[in-house]
Amino acid sequence: MRVGPALRGVVILLPVVALVAAGIVFVVRQFGDDEPPPEDTGGRLVVVVVFDQLRGDYLDRWQKLFGPDGFEKLKAGGAWYSRAHIPYAVTTTGPGHASLSTGQPPRVHGIVDNAWFDRGRNKVVVCATADRAYDRVPSLGGADPAAGGSQSPDRLLSNTVGDALVAANKGRVFSMALKDRAAVLMGGKSPTAAYWFDAGNGQFATSGYYRDRLPAWAEKFNADKPAERMVGHDWTRLLDPAVYDLHAGPDAGAGESTANVFPHRVASGPKAYEAVVASPFGNELLWEFARAAIDAEGLGQRGGTDLLMLGFSANDYVGHAYGPDSQEVLDVTVRSDKLLAEVVATLTAKLGADRLSFVLSADHGVCPLPERALPAHPEARRFDVVASYAPLGGVLDARFGAGEKPGQWLERLDYPWVYLNQRQITASKLDRAAVEQAAADWAGNRPDVAEAAFPRSLLAGPPLTEPFARAAQLSFHPDRSGDVYLLALPYTYPGGKLASGTTHGTPHPYDTHVPILAFGVNVPKLGEQPERVSSLLFAPILAHCLGLDPLPGLPERLPPEWTPQPVKAESE
């Protein structure tokens, strides 16, 4: 999107204001957060809950299995957008969390994927890490204090709703998740704190971007080693096995992880903590950490309006391994409902319902296992991306000349993007659009690809209306994305030689469908809203719950039913 001069001024100014505010908060954190929280002086708390890979249809599909105090409580007592869809093409974790927190698509906030090829540095960069070395906090020891660290929002180009809250000096922002990129991109540029779980050593950590040391409560939490207590336990089904057979089919299926039968043991060993986060125990661990933060930091109890952002990532690990139609995904979803009920009940008992708001969503959906999608979808299969597109360099050589270096027109294939050698194209005085068109024509006719687009050449024009091209355009950032976007056929797995598991990342409906739920103070009791809406509506809803004006330049506006209309007198 081309940003006009007025909006550029706002975009430039807000980070400066937010960073100044962040500096003030930093001083308070360093000298005040190890003290016992003061008496409750009033205030409010808005809680963002993001269940990674909670596909939107789950809330309908398994509704009968939920209790009354989790998803159903939010659906009935607040607003539920049951057909929210992500409008951009690359539906992965980084863009998902960045879009929820900023209200912008990747073409604006710049987080185009979990990682991408940086042409200027000639290397792949990660969405939630920085080029400079921020120390890991706490340090792992050794010669390099930044080992395992350098997490920061440096690559995020837009302000978040939380940044606006801090800049307005109206409250504090705490972001925490199992995944570092979820915590970083939800928290924005100036949170009071951001924490994530390090599956390498079983600790919650942060980086030197945010602070020099952990507060005493977090150090104590780590010292108690709660993740260690989960190692050696069995993940069993929460409900009667017959319920799972009825609602998800048999407890084993082609394409699932090799350990595809309950119970699942969280085994000890070098990868024990990875096993913790890949089970419902991971979400429980995050909530245990969040409860410690709520008590120690006095969230919602120090005046103003605090924002707590929780990224429950275990659902994603489970979904990747077993697929959305498995008993494992059903179980982690039912357990998520139970966990949500506990979050709502705990905070209501602590603060009172009149001081709480909740806004819930997911960062993306997920594709069914190809084996499970057959025979209803005969195109469903797994395919090797590298092998499928290896001939592209030779195809372009044949069209534009091989020169001294075979494959010179192709710089990198990083699915779903094809990076062309822009320097070579310029030096050869070729028309860039012609090379992009040639690459898209060939790639788009591969047996595993539905469509191919080259959105760079479309940037100068008006926003597109054709759904696929529009989604590709919204995911495209000219300094970070490739030149040709490839859309795999639906129900295919565009991986290497993996024989199990599934993924997400396309604009197909199963990847774009996410729920949006809001409940509590400042939320009208609208019930289900079945019309299709953009997932970018999440940020205006969050700003409204916080009592903030929407961020400037958001593509989505709050629906009119959220703001009471003045009653006209009969004489008018």
Residue 1 placed within a domain: no
Confidence of residue 3 (pLDDT cuts 50, 70, 90): very low
- Considering the domain architecture, whether residues 286 and 144 belong to the same structural domain is answered as yes
Say yes or no: 232 and 343 in one domain: yes
The pair of three-digit structure tokens given for residue 158, joined into one six-digit string:
């837009």
Q: Is the peptide bond before 250 cis (omega within 30 degrees of 0)?
A: no
Q: Are residues 243 and 265 in the same domain?
A: yes
Determine the residue type at 388: S
Among 236, 193, 199, 230, residue whose Cα is nearest residue 214: 193
Residues 9-20: tens digit of each pLDDT: 333 333 333 333
State the pLDDT confidence band at 1, using cuts at 50, 70 and 90. very low
Q: Element (H or E) spanning 118, and its range?
A: strand 115-118
| Pairwise pLDDT comparison (137 vs 142), residue with the higher score | 137
Which of 485, 480, 488 lies closest to 504 in space, CA to CA? 488
Higher pLDDT, 482 or 404: 482
Report if pTM > 0.85.
yes
Using CA atoms, how far residue 15 sits from 160, 166, 170, 210, in Å, is 10, 11, 16, 15
Residue 494 falls within a domain, yes or no?
Answer: no
Alpha carbon separation from 222 to 139, 203, 229, 289, 348 (Å, rounded): 13, 6, 12, 9, 27
Give the chain's domain count: 2
d(CA 329, CA 317): 10
Residues sharing a CB contact under 8 Å with residue 132, sequence separation 6 or more, in sequence order: 150, 154
pLDDT at 207: 96
In this prediction, residue 44 carries a pLDDT of 97
Same domain, 485 and 558: no
The Cα-based distances of 28 to 24, 107, 172, 373, 387 in angstroms read 7, 35, 11, 54, 55
In the chain, DSSP finds a helix count (H) and a strand count (E) of 22, 21
In a domain, 3, yes or no: no
Kindly report, residue by residue over 264-289, the tens digit of the pLDDT. 999 899 999 999 999 999 999 999 99
User: Each residue of 40-88: pLDDT tens digit?
Assistant: 888 999 999 999 999 999 999 999 999 999 999 999 999 999 999 999 9
Contacts of 32 (CB under 8 A, 6+ apart): none
Say if strands 484-488 and 193-198 run parallel, antiparallel, or are unpaired. Answer: unpaired
Query: Does the pLDDT at position 142 exceed 90?
Result: no
67 and 172: one domain? Answer: yes
Residues 291 and 352 in one domain: yes
3-class SS at 439? Answer: helix
In a domain, 272, yes or no: yes
> pLDDT of 520-544, one tens digit each?
999 999 999 999 999 999 999 999 9
Q: Are 500 and 370 in contact (CB under 8 A)?
A: no
Tokens of 458: 């479309």
- What is the rounded average pLDDT of the residues 421-425? 93
**Average pLDDT value for residue range 116-130:** 95
Whether 361 and 255 share a structural domain: yes
CATH of the domain at 441: 3.30.1360.150
Which of 464, 489, 514 terminates a domain? The answer is: 489
Other C-beta atoms lying within 10 Å of the C-beta of residue 34? 14
DSSP secondary structure, 137-180, as one string: ES---SS-TTTT--B-STT--S--HHHHHHHTTS--EEEEESSH
pLDDT digits (tens, 9 = 90+) for 334-370: 999 999 999 999 999 999 999 999 999 999 999 999 9
The encoded tokens of residue 339 equal 């966990």
Q: Is the pLDDT of residue 36 over 80?
A: no
345 and 392 together in one domain:
no
Whose tokens are 């506990």? That residue is: 342
State the burial class of residue 479 (Cβ atoms within 10 Å of its Cβ: 0-12, 13-18, 19+): exposed
Q: Is 382 helix (H, G, I), strand (E, B) or coil?
A: strand
Listed in sequence order, the residues at least 6 apart from 323 whose beta carbon sits closer than 8 Å to its beta carbon are 253, 255, 256, 329, 366, 368, 369, 372, 501, 502
In a domain, 367, yes or no: yes
Residue 567 belongs to some domain of the structure: no
Domain that holds residue 454: 381-489
Same domain, residue pair 347 and 414: no
Exposed/middle/buried for 406, CB within 10 Å: 0-12, 13-18, 19+? Answer: exposed
Each residue's pLDDT tens digit, 177-221: 999 999 999 999 999 999 999 999 999 999 999 999 999 999 999
Q: What percent of the chain has pLDDT over 70?
A: 88
**Of the ranges 31-35, 170-174, 210-214, 512-516, which one carries the lowest mean pLDDT score?**
31-35
Q: Rounded to the nearest 10 degrees, how much is the dihedral formed by the CA atoms of 269, 274, 275, 278?
A: 180
CA dist., res. 476 & res. 111, Å (int): 10
Expressed in percent and rounded to 5, the helix, strand and coil fractions of the chain are: 40, 20, 45
CA–CA gap between residue 66 and residue 555 (Å, rounded): 34
* Confidence check: pLDDT of 146 > 80: no
Residues contacting 513, CB < 8 A, separation 6+: 55, 56, 57, 83, 84, 85, 365
Domain boundary among 454, 489, 524: 489
**What average pLDDT does the segment 407-413 reach?**
92
What integer pLDDT is reported at residue 499 of this predicted model?
80
Confidence grade of residue 507 (pLDDT, cut at 50, 70, 90)? very high
Instruction: Indicate whether 368 and 385 sit together in one domain.
Output: no
Residue 54 domain flag = yes
The last residue of a domain, from among 426, 456, 489: 489
CA distances from residue 505 to 117, 356, 416 in whole angstroms, order as listed: 17, 33, 9
Is the domain of 473 the same as that of 532? no
pLDDT tens per residue across span 295-309 = 999 999 999 999 999
Confidence of residue 323 (pLDDT cuts 50, 70, 90): very high
The CATH number for 159's domain is 3.40.720.10
Looking at the domain assignment, is residue 569 inside a domain?
Answer: no
Q: Do 399 and 528 have their domain in common? A: no
Question: 538-546 vs 93-102: helix axis angle to the nearest 10?
Answer: 40
pLDDT for 299: 98
Q: Do 459 and 478 meet the contact criterion of CB atoms below 8 Å apart?
A: yes
Strand 410-414 versus strand 381-384 pairing type: unpaired
Q: What is the phi-psi region of residue 460: left when phi exceeds 0, alpha when psi lies from -120 to 50, beta otherwise?
A: alpha
